[in-house]
Structure 1
Amino acid sequence: MNVPLYQQISDELKKNIITKKIQSGEQLPTEKELSDTYKVSRITAKRALTELEQLGMVTRTRGKGTFVKSPSTSNTALLKRVLFVIPFEGMSFGDFTQGLAPALKENDTTIFITYSNYLKENTAAQIKENFDGLVYYPMHTEDYLDVLLELSLQNFPVVLLDKQIYDLGFPCVASDNFNGGEQAAQALVSLGHERIAFVMSNEEHHPHTTRNRYLGYVKVLKESHLTFHTTLDDKNVNEDSIIHLINEEQVTALICENDLVALQTMANLQAQGIDIPNDVSIIGFDNILAASLSNPPLTTIAQDFAGIGKKAGELLVEWINTGLVPNDVKIPIQLIERNTTK
């Protein structure tokens, strides 16, 4: 998820204003100065300053410049501050901010976006000093447990995206992955497939999201009285070695743990002369952009990333305002039928 350049500039200026590195009444750099400092266009610099003006943190006067509002004329003191931590720079796995940012802005809450190493470089005390809450999308649930545990013990509001971290007590907003597995399996069963495999990446450990998708798949096969299914610990069921299942087990359909695995599997099978979908049907998960651009376009289970972000923002604001810890929320998913199923 690429953070827009204007947002990066705006976030840095916001932080400097809130932490009083830039004092009330002080003039901010001009559009030209920001453009030169950050190596961006004047339009980008202007957009960053406009966002601060819309938040009520600065006042802009033509011919004079942009100035930080004083507490008596600003709602800065009323603004809540939320940190959004994503795994890494350049992440493109769904734009949660499309839902998160508006939900926070509606509640006089400003958002700062950063990357996971922030949790390594800052203590729980520093996070509490500078922010009112945290939205965290963990890549691995075992990362940064020390600082997260300390935040939990101090009842600091933290809402997780996509993956639950057990024993910390943080609410999690995630897609209904179990139902996603059900929908994928049911779609293939409805097309007449009886030997359906669940294909995983080459990773040694599979996340909770994958396990839930797998369990949904198994449930539908059991309810449909289909005896064949693959297991999570079968090392031969991944994107590089699935060919043997097709040749030896007469598998005719594949549910892949995500779109990346599905696209790689499809490429491998096509290189072996296997036609998709006439010989084998394939379904992925996540509905990434590449899914609609593949040849043939990939049938997939779409996550509502904006919906996840919106609900996470609402829960965090609720927790900050009431002091009551919200419950976990599952966001519905949707089967997107394209041309890899038949």
Structure 2
Amino acid sequence: MRATIRDVAKTAGVSIATVSKVFNGYTDVNEETKEKIFEVAKRLDYTPNMAARTLSSKKQQTIALILNELNFNRKSTMPMEVLNGVYKFTEQSDFEFVFYGTSTEKQESKTFRQFCNEHNITGAVIQGLKMTDPYYYEIQETSLPTVLIDVVVDNPAIGTVAIDSEAASLEAVNYLISQGHQNIGMINGSRDANVSILREQGYRKALEENAISVNEAYVQYANFDEEITFLITKNLLSNHKEVSALFCASDIMAIGAMRAVKDMGKRVPEDISIIGFDDIILASYVTPRLTTVAQDMEEIGYEAAKLLTEIINKEDQNNSIRRIIPYEIEYRESVSSKK
């Protein structure tokens, strides 16, 4: 149960009015008392509800979209697509919508429960959470209505919305194999991202099912970064000239790989075939146009918000709170048959 101002006052041995003064910035409370109240509040995991000061007695329910390690850029609009999806759902519901960015550093300074209490958040949709983030561990045990995008935790009360990344990767790599490629490299994201683990599992499964040995040197990590991918791809192709195809766990990395191939005097797809993942807008405009796994991030955001409201309202409690969104392979021009 959430700690109240009354709990803080009782534990600290002061009046409720004194606690209220401390959290409202009044200067007529001595420093020793302030420090004692802050220490007790931290121990009880109490944070003042800022919104409660201005809200009427009518209960307001607020859905928050929390994006971890927020990175809007001109090449990838995926965070904005998720935001659009959540916003579109809340626009046709009775829920208010707010949006916050967070980071590992912010999570270390304030717990997930404290953050949500402080901002009067009824439930949260979270995208971009890494398996090493403080919130990831907290959410394993939280009772706050929460839906994660692309992450699964061991908490049956937490919802998940994603495509089947393992199946999508399996299909993508099987397509490369069907075109005669045997020596297939993988440029993966980061080791602490759930989607990276699943996409690598699909890559390995495709090779194993086709009796192709997995060469560990072919699997590289570029942290979903275009420039890192550029360098890693040049190194991989220089040291393993037999590699004829690359499966990249994001389109941004696939674009970095395409640049590297061109910089080495080679051609896509004539010399190196490349498949990406996400189907960002640029995938249709690079040359050659990128073959990729398409996932609808706006639909994922919409379905995440919808699932969250069902959890908040305790609807369909017998149904699964893990939603799988369909994906498609967009066959374009970056893959050709092995010569």
The reply to whether TM is greater than 0.5 is yes
In structure 2, do the counterparts of structure 1 residues 171 and 184 end up closer, same or farther at CA, with 3 Å as the change threshold? same
Whether 1:333 aligns to 2:318 is no
Counterpart in 1 of 2:290?
Answer: 298
User: After the TM superposition, which residues 1-342 of structure 1 pair with which residues of structure 2 at under 5 Å, given as runs?
Assistant: 19-21=52-54, 77=58, 79-91=60-72, 92-94=77-79, 95-116=81-102, 120-121=109-110, 124-125=113-114, 127-128=116-117, 130-145=120-135, 149=138, 153=141, 155-166=143-154, 170-200=158-188, 205-225=191-211, 227-231=212-216, 234=219, 239-243=230-234, 246=237, 248-322=240-314, 324=317, 327-342=321-336
Letter in 2 for 1:331: I
Q: Secondary structure at the match of 2:321?
A: coil
CA deviation after TM superposition for structure 1 residue 145, in Å: 3.2
Is the CA contact (8 Å cut-off) linking 2:295 and 2:327 kept in structure 1?
yes
CA deviation after TM superposition for structure 1 residue 279, in Å: 0.8
In structure 2, do the counterparts of structure 1 residues 145 and 206 end up closer, same or farther at CA, with 3 Å as the change threshold? closer
CA deviation after TM superposition for structure 1 residue 228, in Å: 4.0
CA deviation after TM superposition for structure 1 residue 303, in Å: 1.4
Is the CA contact (8 Å cut-off) linking 2:185 and 2:219 kept in structure 1?
no
Letter in 1 for 2:178: S
Cα distance in 1 for residues equivalent to 2:159 and 2:251: 27
Q: TM-score scaled to structure 1, two decimals?
A: 0.68
Give the gaps of 5 or more residues in structure 2. 1-48, 223-228
How many residue pairs get aligned? The number is: 270
CA deviation after TM superposition for structure 1 residue 153, in Å: 4.7
Cα distance in 2 for residues equivalent to 1:19 and 1:232: 56
Is the CA contact (8 Å cut-off) linking 2:185 and 2:218 kept in structure 1?
no
Q: After superposing the two structures, state which structure 1 stretch, 100-109 or 264-273, moved more.
A: 100-109
Cα distance in 2 for residues equivalent to 1:284 and 1:87: 23
Cα distance in 2 for residues equivalent to 1:165 and 1:299: 31
Q: TM-score scaled to structure 2, two decimals?
A: 0.69
Cα distance in 2 for residues equivalent to 1:274 and 1:177: 30
User: Cα deviations across residues 236-267 of structure 1 (Å, max 9, x unaligned)?
Assistant: 99642445654645221110121122111111
Give the gaps of 5 or more residues in structure 1. 1-15, 25-70, 72-76
Is the CA contact (8 Å cut-off) linking 1:78 and 1:108 kept in structure 2?
no
